[in-house]
Every structure is written in structure tokens, then in C-alpha cells.
Amino acid sequence: MLNFTSAIALTMLALGAALTFVRLVRGPSLPDRVISIDLIGILIVCVLVVVAGDSGQQAFLDVAMVIALISFVGTVAYARYLERDRT
């Protein structure tokens, strides 16, 4: 059973992810989409931190760390790809 504030926080995070997904679908340029994907990764980390605080399980924090790392590497790789692609 979720804590009340955790339920509110998870609802708001889901709303923010939905808004970010709107920009991911609509985004006029490729950098917009990369920003959206980066923000979705950060929001996933936020959700994992809230769940870890609610349940007291430390394993969620490890998962948050790994997802943050992979999201960062993916963003840098996307940006490299964009820069290499220009002519």
C-alpha cells in the first residue's frame, strides 16, 4: 500500500512523462526528441527513488543508478551522432 504523498508524487511523475511523450511524438527536430528521451530517463530515475523511499528496498536505488548511467551514455551518443551527421 502506497503512502499518500508517494501516490501523489507518482501521479505527478506519470503526468510529466506523458507531457514529455507528447513532445517526443510532436518534436519538430531531432534534438527535441533527444531532450525528451533524456528527460524520460530522468523521470524514470525519479519514479525509482520515490518507490525506494516508499518501500525501503535498497535495490531500487541500484537500479536508479544504472538507469541514470545508461541514459547519460545514450544521450551523449545521440549528440555525437547528430554532430557527425551535419554537413
Residues that bind another protein (CB under 8 A): 3-6, 8-10, 12-13, 15-20, 22-23, 28-36, 38-39, 42-43, 45-46, 49-50, 52-53, 56, 58, 61-62, 64-65, 68-69, 72, 75-76, 78-80, 82-83, 85-86
State in angstroms the smallest separation of the CB of 9 from another protein.
Answer: 4
CA 75/CA 79 separation, integer angstroms: 6
Residue 58, classified by CB atoms within 10 Å of its CB into exposed (0-12), middle (13-18) or buried (19+), is: exposed
Q: 1 vs 18, which CB is nearer to another protein?
A: 18
Alpha carbon separation from 17 to 46, 81, 83 (Å, rounded): 11, 25, 27
